[in-house]
Amino acid sequence: MHENVCSFFGHRTINETDELRKKLTKIIERLITDKNVDTFLFGSKSRFDSLCLELVTKLKEKYPHVKRIYVRAEFPYIDKGYLDYLLKTYDETYYPEKLLGAGRAAYVERNYEMIDKSHFCIVYYDEQNAPTTRKSGTKIALEYAVKNGREVNLLP
């Protein structure tokens, strides 16, 4: 676990409001200024991830030392073209070696990797909008983060 690292987890679709954007910005900025967080880990496939990336990118103008790292759950080996594409948005990217051969569990394992490397997690989990036909990946990540003693900021 790294004291200055924060991960984001949330549903693919969210109720995006100005209030949520302001609350998230306040939480992220507090982590940067009060908790010395300088590294933010991102997954993919959700609007919550995209929103958080947008807000961290905006805050990076004020706090240029912060890093945005994309933790890939797919594509263990990427070519220079895709790397260059990713580095237009992120400061770094990597594929956790333990995901090789993970198959359908790749996203869950990627999330565990992100939580293991983080002290803080910002999670958007809405029980009413969670999937009903399968276990929510966000809920799995939230339970793992709590079980492993991470400091969780829970939204909405």
Rounded to the nearest integer, the mean pLDDT of the chain is: 94
Q: What is the average pLDDT across 37-48? A: 93
CA pair distance 131, 113, nearest whole angstrom? 23
Measured distance CA(83)–CA(90) in Å, rounded: 10
What radius of gyration do the chain's Cα atoms show? Answer: 15
Task: Tell whether the model's pLDDT for residue 27 goes beyond 80.
Answer: yes
pLDDT tens-digit series, residues 56-69: 999 999 999 999 99
Whether 45 has a pLDDT exceeding 90, the answer reads no
Helix (H, G, I), strand (E, B) or coil at 67: strand
The domain segmentation of the chain, as residue ranges, is 2-155
Q: What is the pLDDT of residue 133?
A: 67
Residue-wise pLDDT for 104-141, tens only, equals 899 999 999 999 999 999 999 988 776 666 778 899 99
Q: Which CATH class is domain 2-155?
A: alpha beta
